[in-house]
Amino acid sequence: MIREEGDRLYISGPVTLDTAKQLLEASCDRIGSHLKTIDFSEATDIDSSAVSLMLEWSRKARAAGGKVCFANPGDAIASLTDLYGVEDLIVFE
């Protein structure tokens, strides 16, 4: 579900309520004080839990003195961040 290549994490498969907890647990130790890009190019099904994950990854990075940005979010994520009014809290590549 998560593959790491350098400073980029690739999310693959569904990003839904059913997988959010697993994705968060699998990524917690990979978000740190240096810049990470989380890439959604391999993600399949996406629901609103993706936005919650993005906010949590951003929070964890800031707490560690780092920064995270997101790549290839797709239309679903862009629409959801706009709908929830959090587009200013999430940094896109």
Q: What is the CATH number of the domain that holds 48?
A: 3.30.750.24
Position 16 in a domain: yes
b/e map 23-51, b = 16+ CB within 10 Å = bbeebeeebeeeebbbbbeebeebbbbbb
Position 71 in a domain: yes
Position 28 in a domain: yes
The pTM is what?
0.92
Position 90 in a domain: no
User: Which residue do the tokens 């003195």 mark?
Assistant: 65
Q: What is the reported pLDDT for 90? A: 93
Helix (H, G, I), strand (E, B) or coil at 31: coil
CB 93: neighbour CB atoms within 10 A?
Answer: 11
Position 8 in a domain: yes
Domain coverage including residue 50: 2-84
Query: 11-35: per-residue pLDDT in tens?
Result: 999 999 999 999 999 998 888 878 7
Position 41 in a domain: yes
Q: How many domains does the chain have?
A: 1
